Chains A and B, each alone.
Chain A
Amino acid sequence: MGGLDVRMRGVACRHGRVEAVADVDLEIAAGERVALTGTNGSGKTTLLRAVLGLHRQVSGSILVGGRGTGSAAEWAWRRRSCAWIPQKPAAGRFPLLGDELLASGGAPAEAAEAARELGVGTLLGRPLHTLSGGQLQRMYLARAIGAVAAGAEVLLADEPTAALDFGGQEEAADVLAALPVTLVVVTHDRALAQRCDRVLEMAAGRLREVA
């Protein structure tokens, strides 16, 4: 089993004056699968984005594979080693084709193969804004599988099955749980949470272990 360990110490994230994440200590072993649950607005997405440096007001330390993010090169390494499935992958402001999205993960051929297996292989030439929410979510999943093939050893997935039908949720959960990576997944989906080694719950920015 591949994967890198993730260590958080005293992590706090603010949105202006609002403290979205407070005092989070978390140790995730290499290859472990962790589900993050909790009510809307409890800070799950913010915590995930902080790992990738997408949230600006972060204090405390976040190490992936024992490495911090002091320099631009270290950030580049962090973003290569942590694949990301954004929450509600909205189609962007400007058109992008399906295969351009898949190629951005770093391994176009593997991502295209994954897209075929997920049933969206015929949509690669289509602009993303013409896809349905579920199709787009499958595309992002395929991109993440490509990123893992390209060397990412952590997958940060933010509600990766929220837009899928029941059959799709089961299928995506199987695919996610089988990846040889450390998986941190924000989810309200029981099928996906059941496939994880640990389930953590966030409430008002704080983290506690459930199972």
Chain B
Amino acid sequence: MILAGALASAGLGELLGLPPVQRAGFALLLAAVGLPVVGVVIVGLDIMPVRFAMMHVALLGIAIGLLTGLDPMLCALVACALAGAGVAPLARTPDGLSGAMGLLMSLAIAAALLVLAVSGVNASGAFALLWGSILSVGTADLVVLGALAVLVPLLLWWRRREVALLLYDRELAQCSGVPVRALTAVLLVLVAVAVAGAIKLTGALLVDALTLLPALAARRLGTSLRSITLWAVGIGVAVNLTGFLVALRLDWPPGPVLVLTAGALVLAVHLVPERSISTWCAPASDSLPSSH
């Protein structure tokens, strides 16, 4: 409330001097490095509904936490990690994973509601634990975002060949000596934990702006795992900083402004004709006409 009052009366310069605003800006910058890379994996594995699935799995984790007296957020993260590892075997068929996400979502919400009803905990109270806000991030949250910003790009860089092959074609990867089962499981656990953590830190709406939307725009602009990842991080940083400053300047809530900024960029990128994109991105030596 104090913060809202201060936001209403102060100019942009004064706002940027406020510690919560500085922390929020820093958190967004860290998130813009790690989360778009997670988004690239989500797009690559074709598991767009993962955010909805993880919201409900996290709710189940919170419900179990409230029932057993353990830390609810820790239970939520563990539940998401287990769910991620649990659906990994379904990646064998091409549509296995996206279907699995839908199934996971239904089963988790049903189980969560059952646990909440049995334990007598108020469901909306449990849901409230899930909704974070970028203006209320604490130091612990910054550490988590920082760890994601370092670990996620590092893992993808370390295993870039294997990941590129796996996202291109699972069977080809398998025949090229990639440990596809283990790698899929690691990627899914990473995605699940990152998405669940980000929901807590930034709110569910912002997670899409930070993960999926930069990756969707980058998928269109890049031509390889490497270039798509770099585009995603670049777009993530640009969108987050622009959106955050606009939100502060106009005194609007940051979440929707960031999502709309990222969404506008995705639309703009998709409206650009494909031919002009390939001319920007292709090295000069490769711009020979192909014999289609």
Q: Does B161 contact A (CB under 8 A)?
A: yes
Is B46 positioned at the interface, with any CB of A under 8 Å from its CB?
yes
Instruction: Tell whether, in the assembled complex, residue B167 and residue A125 are in contact, meaning their CB atoms are under 8 Å apart.
Output: no
Interface contacts (Cβ under 8 Å), in number, total: 89
- Give the residue of A92, A103, A105, A125 whose beta carbon is less than 8 angstroms from that of B169: A92
Report whether B224 and A122 are in contact in the complex, using a CB–CB cutoff of 8 Å: no
Q: Please judge, given known A-B contacts A92-B169, A103-B161, A127-B223, whether A76 and B177 are in contact too, CB under 8 Å.
A: yes
- Whether A97 is near chain B, meaning CB under 8 Å from some CB there, is yes
Check B286–A93 contact: CB distance below 8 A.
no
Minimum distance in angstroms from A194 CB to a CB of chain B:
27
Q: Is the CB of A95 within 8 A of B290?
A: no
- Check B167 against A80 for contact (C-beta < 8 Å): no
Please determine whether A96 and B175 come into contact, CB atoms closer than 8 angstroms.
no
| A170 at the binding interface (Cβ < 8 Å) | no
Chain A count of residues within 8 A CB distance of the other chain:
32
The residues in B between 137 and 183 inclusive whose CB is less than 8 angstroms from any CB of A are 161, 164-165, 167-169, 171-177
Q: Complex Cα distance A134/B291, Å? A: 9
Contact A126 B282 (CB under 8 A): yes
Bound together, the chains give a CA A164 to CA B292 distance in angstroms of: 12
- Nearest CB of B to A121, in Å: 11
**A23 CB-CB contact with B under 8 Å:** no
Q: Is B225 an interface residue (CB 8 A)?
A: yes
CB of B285 within 8 Å of the partner chain: yes
- B195-223: which have CB < 8 Å to A? 222-223
The B-contacting residues of A in range 23-77, CB under 8 angstroms, are: 52-54, 56, 76
A189 in contact (CB, < 8 A): no
Q: What 0/1 pattern do residues 70 to 112 of A give for CB contact below 8 A with B?
A: 0000001001100010100000111111001101111000000
Of the residues B161, B175, B228, contact of A79 by C-beta under 8 Å: B175
Minimum CB distance partner of A82 in chain B: B175
B223 is contacted by which of A86, A97, A131, A132 (Cβ under 8 Å)?
Answer: A97
Give the one of B46, B161, B288, B290 with max A CB within 10 A: B290
Give Cα A106–Cα B161 distance, bound, in whole angstroms: 12
List the B side residues contacting A122 at CB < 8 Å: 285-286, 288
**Of the candidates B172, B174, B176, B288, which one forms a contact with A92 in the assembled complex, judged by CB atoms under 8 Å apart?**
B172
Give the contacts of B230-261 with A (CB-CB under 8 A).
none
Q: Which of B43, B161, B171 sits near A100, CB closer than 8 Å?
A: B161
Once the chains are docked, how many angstroms separate the CA of A170 from the CA of B61? 62
Residues from chain A with a CB closer than 8 A to the CB of B165 are 96, 100, 104
Contact of A96 among B43, B164, B291, B292 (CB under 8 A): B164
B278 at the interface (CB under 8 A from A): yes
At the interface, yes or no: A135 with Cβ under 8 Å from chain B?
yes
- For the complex, is B44 an interface residue (Cβ under 8 Å from A)? yes
CB of A147 to closest CB in B, whole Å: 9
Q: A52-B175, A125-B283 are in contact. Are A93 and B278 (CB under 8 A)?
A: no
Cβ contacts under 8 Å, B224 to chain A: 95-97, 100, 127
Whether a CB of chain B sits under 8 angstroms from the CB of A11 is no
Which of chain A's residues have a CB closer than 8 A to the CB of B174? 52-54, 79
Q: Which chain B residue lies CB-closest to A130? A: B290
Q: Within the assembled complex, what's the spacing in Å between the Cα atoms of A130 and B225? A: 15
The smallest beta-carbon distance between B40 and chain A, in angstroms, is: 9
Residue from A104, A127, A131 whose CB has the most chain B CB atoms within 10 Å: A104
A108–B174 alpha-carbon span in the complex (Å): 18
Q: How far is the CA of A86 from the CA of B171 in the complex (A)?
A: 9
Write out the residue numbers on chain B whose beta carbons fall within 8 Å of the beta carbon of A94. Answer: 43-44, 164, 167-168, 225
A64 to B238, CA, bound (A): 54
Q: Which of B168, B173, B282, B285 contacts A95 (CB 8 A)?
A: B168
Bound complex: CA A97 to CA B168 (Å): 10
Smallest CB gap from A98: residue in B: B286
With A79-B176, A96-B169, A128-B168 known, 5 other A-B pairs at CB within 8 A are A79-B174, A97-B224, A100-B168, A123-B286, A127-B224
30 A-B residue pairs with CB within 8 Å: A52-B175, A54-B174, A56-B92, A79-B176, A92-B168, A92-B169, A93-B94, A93-B167, A93-B169, A94-B44, A94-B168, A94-B225, A95-B168, A95-B228, A96-B164, A96-B167, A96-B225, A97-B223, A97-B224, A100-B168, A100-B224, A101-B172, A104-B161, A104-B165, A104-B172, A104-B176, A105-B176, A123-B290, A130-B223, A135-B291
List residues of A whose CB falls within 8 A of some B CB: 52-54, 56, 76, 79-80, 84, 86, 92-97, 100-101, 103-106, 122-123, 125-128, 130-132, 134-135
Q: Which 7 A-B pairs have the closest CB atoms?
A: A92-B168, A94-B167, A96-B168, A104-B176, A92-B169, A127-B223, A94-B44
